[in-house]
Amino acid sequence: MQKIGINVSPDVLYGAESFLRSLAAVGFESVFTDGDDPAFVRWLTNRCASSGLTVETLHAPFHHINDLWTTGPGADALLRELEDCVDLAAENGIPIVVTHLSSGENCPHVNDAGLLNFDRLVDHAAKKGVKLAVENQRKLGNISVILEMYGKDTPVGFCWDVGHEACFAHGREYMPLFGDRCITTHIHDNNCLYNVDEHLLPFDGQIDFRRTADLIHNSGYQGPLMLEVDLPHEGSDKYNRLSVDQFTAKAFAAINRLRVIAQ
């Protein structure tokens, strides 16, 4: 059966150590985290190695990702951040870096500057033995171009974000287009309202996860089913009333339910 995983962050309400311990106990097999805190990434990979968990991916920084499609200091700074994330993944034995290609409705159009920038990133990733997974946001064109330019024999693949598809894509489905290129997933729920990206546990919102399961099954994807949810943390109003073991049990039940119906 496919492995199942969940995101981990240093600000999780229970503390990362307790959270990892509970994840392993309840049956999770893998995790991912953001790539903007090298000390935490190094701690996480070491801790997971001793607890039977694997770190499947790093999520690259994206706060000024639209600079990818420009030239000048902003683009240079972004590329350094993305290359540093690739380096961090390579140093810690993490095989995949997930990256956005754009942000917002009014992002730059696909252009030569951005394609040259991304080519530099792909070359860097290839030298480091790390794969790049491009994640669906609001725009189809940039993902289509990148996945057409870089075929299956390159270190570039697709990250299917189920929640983003439901609240950003106006009904568009990505797996029928790119399922054969999918190398990782971000799975979360929401109430299917445009631009309301809630990162709920599956079956807590309005996404049709029977359809999600069918899309996974029909694509032939066999990689990890990875939750990307709003973890209990200070100031959150979603799952903070649950104990660590209650939360991890609820999360495991949700993603395992999807795994079973996707078989």
CA angle 57, 61, 64 (to 5 degrees): 150
Return the pLDDT at 1. Answer: 82
pLDDT digits 0-9 by tens, 11-62 = 999 999 999 999 999 999 999 999 999 999 999 999 999 989 999 999 999 9
3-state class of 134 per DSSP?
strand
Q: Which domains does the chain have, with CATH numbers?
A: 4-261 (3.20.20.150)
Nearest to 115 by CA among 62, 68, 67, 66: 68
Report if pTM > 0.75. Answer: yes
3-state class of 182 per DSSP?
strand
Mean pLDDT of 115-120: 98
Which tokens go with 164?
């983003």
CB 5 within 8 A of CB 56: yes
Cβ partners under 8 Å of residue 146, min gap 6 = 101, 118, 134, 156
CB 2 within 8 A of CB 224: yes
pLDDT at 252 over 90: yes
pLDDT digits 0-9 by tens, 170-213 = 999 999 999 999 999 999 999 999 999 999 999 999 999 999 99
